[in-house]
Structure 1
Amino acid sequence: MSARRPLRDQLRLPLTSDVVGAASVFVRSASNASAMDALSTWPDAAGRVMALCGPAGCGKSHLAALWAERVGAVPLNGAEAALTDPLELEGRPVLLDIARDADDETLFHLINLAQHDGGALLMVSRPSPRQWAVRVPDLRSRLDAVRVVAMEAPDDAVMSAILAARFAERSIIPADGVIDFLVLRIARSAEAAAAIVARLDDEHRPVTRALARQVLDASAELFDGGDEGLQP
């Protein structure tokens, strides 16, 4: 298993976080370092609107929640954002997760509100806002001007940390080499890590490499294709 990361490379999150798959630490690695650096001091002179983009399972929502906690942002989610009174958001930072599901009018208003003193808007999405299909010309120009920070699929260090956290949550101590074995074989996502640990826990046996191989062989359909597909 990968060595424990220095404290300076970890960011603390509350264990009661609502983010799916959130762990007590967010491990810094090459796959997320630029995003972590960008959000550590934002909002700043670089602008009041930012988009955090990357593939499913890369930790976008987790990192965005950490930012929201730090700045006291109002959390909104996709299409539900239209139900929020804009007057309640003026002068406040806002986190908009699954941002592409928000309608054009809501996005337009949120971007405008972010320009007020104290305002900011962090949009979380898989594709960049520049790739979104919108019908409002003024919104198109605003989205094209948004600062985009990208995250990559979790690398070995992050996947090892996620698996270790999922095992710890279930009070499981895997045998030596199990985490490294799984890192090489499961999809690069927090969801895949949680799923395989749950399957191993269901066996009610010591978690060894032999058991991990057996469970992977029997559970291939859970990881076949999409964001949960097994890595070759």
Structure 2
Amino acid sequence: MAEQLTFPLHLRSAQGREDFFIAPANALALTTLDSPPSWPLGRMILIGPEGAGKTHLAAIWADEHGAALRRARDLTEEMAPELVAQGAAVIEDAEAVAQSLDHQRALFHLHNLMQAEGGQLLLTARTPPRDWGMTLPDLISRMEATATVRISPPDDALLSAVLVKLFADRQLTVPPNLIAWLVTRMDRSLATARKLVAALDRQALAQRRAITQRLAAEVLDSLD
């Protein structure tokens, strides 16, 4: 059977609180982000592996606190007054500031201005600040003094819930037993879950096949 041509669709994942699944791996992070007044000096770094849910948590926090949300690689010093004016900001992938001294200066300026104005600053990163590779001494000292909270790798319950959510985001129907089957065979990573569901969607459409255990086995083999 000839494969059907497929075209990439820009799917928007659900990012609200109602779509966030609470599990032991992320419960502490959620509780911490729900209590900004407890953050020392109004700062917090959310640390976790790729695909662990940092972006989702940050989006929830930004929405509920009216915070501006920017990626570290896009930061400039000129942005700081605008971000501080909102009273709260989220900087994602904060370790990326190490790629440029200008980005480090921008984060340093934002940090100081936000603290001076009594605002709140949330950063996300895969690793602790000591591993970012920063070279600006003043920023290093401030980041290493900032409180951190971690999201742990997903357990079975969280991985299952995320797979269900990813299939639902794409409006895909799968057999009831497929989720448990996938969880026992895939890499234990939410990033892998995203890649797997995207690949299943793509192959099912291209081959005009239903998403079954057999197709899932083929896709898992192709991801190895």
Question: One fold, TM greater than 0.5?
Answer: yes
**CA deviation after TM superposition for structure 1 residue 110, in Å:** 1.6
Instruction: Assess if the C-alpha contact under 8 Å between 1:99 and 1:123 holds in 2.
Output: yes
Given residue 66 of structure 2, which amino acid in structure 1 is its aligned partner? G
Alpha-carbon spacing, 1:167–1:132, altered in 2? closer, same or farther (3 Å): closer
Q: Deviations over 1:34-65 (max 9, x none)?
A: 10010012143533111111111111111111
CA distance in 2, matches of 1:21, 1:133: 33
Report the 3-state secondary structure (helix = DSSP H, G, I; strand = E; otherwise coil) of the residue aligned with 1:115: helix
Counterpart of 1:167 in structure 2 is: 167
> Could you tell me which of 35, 51, 70 is aligned with 1:57?
51
How many percent of aligned residue pairs carry the same amino acid?
38
Higher relative contact order (Cα pairs below 8 Å, separated by 6+ residues)? 2
What TM-score, normalized by structure 1, do the two folds share?
0.78
Equivalents in 1 of 2:220, 2:136: separation in Å? 47
Shift in Å at residue 195 of structure 1? 2.6
Q: What SS class does the counterpart of residue 75 from structure 1 fall into? A: strand
Structure 2 distance, partners of 1:166, 1:137, is 41
Which SS does the other structure have where 1:27 is aligned? coil
1:34-73 mapped onto 2 (5 Å cutoff): 34-44=28-38, 46-73=40-67
Q: More deviation in 185-194 or 140-149?
A: 185-194
Alignment check: 8 A CA contact 2:77 2:106 kept: no
- Gaps of at least 5 residues in structure 1 are 1-16, 225-232
Which stretch of the first structure deviates more once superposed, 140-149 or 22-31?
22-31
| In structure 2, C-alpha distance between the alignment counterparts of 1:115 and 1:149, rounded to whole Å | 19
Q: Runs of 5+ in structure 2 lacking a partner?
A: 1-10, 98-102
TM-score, normalisation: structure 2: 0.80
Q: Within 5 A, what are the aligned runs for 1:140-155?
A: 140-155=140-155
Query: In structure 1, which of residues 97, 117, 123 is the aligned counterpart of residue 92 of structure 2?
Result: 97
Counterpart code for 2:176 = D
Deviation at 1:93, TM superposition (A): 0.7
In 2 relative to 1, CA 180–61 (structure 1 residues): closer, same or farther, beyond 3 Å? same
Which structure's residues are more often helix, by fraction?
A: 2
Question: Would you say how many aligned residue pairs link Structure 1 and Structure 2?
Answer: 204
SS at match of 2:159: helix
Moved more, 56-65 or 131-140: 131-140
- SS of the aligned residue for 1:205 comes to coil
Question: Within 5 Å, which residues of 2 pair with 1:103-122?
Answer: 103-122=103-122
State the match for 1:10 in structure 2. none
Give the Å deviation of 1:169. 2.8
